[in-house]
Amino acid sequence: MRSVLTLILNLIWLLTAGWALFLGYLLAGVLACLVIVTIPFGIASFRIAGFVLWPFGREVVDTGGGGAMSTLGNVIWFVIAGWWLALGHVGTALAQAVTLIGIPLAWANLKLIPVTCFPFGKEVMDSSTARARMLPTAR
């Protein structure tokens, strides 16, 4: 039953926001890949593009790594692309929130803003793997 609900939510998402957000991330990724030193930004953008196209059933997990270079990359990303991509999420969330069925989609859209603004040091994985990773190991 959960997989059917996930499929329905992803299809509605794709029609109401996913395709537009995907194109924004795709454009940002292509522009970033034009210059060799910004290719890591392009790769991060493509990774998020796949996530915003089909987000339900997947989660963003903090890898806890990256250090100073990840922080520097996040600051540069936010200044150059993150803020306007976040505005895209706010705009599509407002449009989704107009209807009762769109409110959960709007909320999910707003939950994507942190990874939009600061993508380095994050990993996208399916929800079951993310939950399993978060469970404490038994000793």
Residues in the chain: 139
* pLDDT average, residue stretch 7-17: 91
CB 10, CB 54: distance < 8 Å: yes
H/E run at residue 59: strand 58-62
C-alpha pair distances (Å), 48 with each of 5, 98, 106, 118, 139: 22, 25, 17, 11, 36
What is the predicted pLDDT for the residue at 138?
Answer: 47
How far is the C-alpha of 128 from the C-alpha of 109, rounded, in Å? 20
How far is the C-alpha of 75 from the C-alpha of 58, rounded, in Å? 25
Tokens (6 digits) for 129: 């793997």
How far is the C-alpha of 107 from the C-alpha of 3, rounded, in Å? 20
Helix extents (H) in 14-112? 19-33, 39-53, 67-77, 83-96, 103-111
* pLDDT average, residue stretch 51-59: 90
pLDDT at 131 over 70: yes
What is the predicted pLDDT for the residue at 137?
Answer: 54
Longest CA–CA separation in the chain, Å: 50
How far is the C-alpha of 18 from the C-alpha of 52, rounded, in Å? 6
How far is the C-alpha of 100 from the C-alpha of 111, rounded, in Å? 18
* pLDDT average, residue stretch 60-70: 82
pLDDT band at 139 (very low <50, low <70, confident <90, very high): very low
pLDDT at 20 over 60: yes
Kindly report the average pLDDT of the chain as a whole number: 88
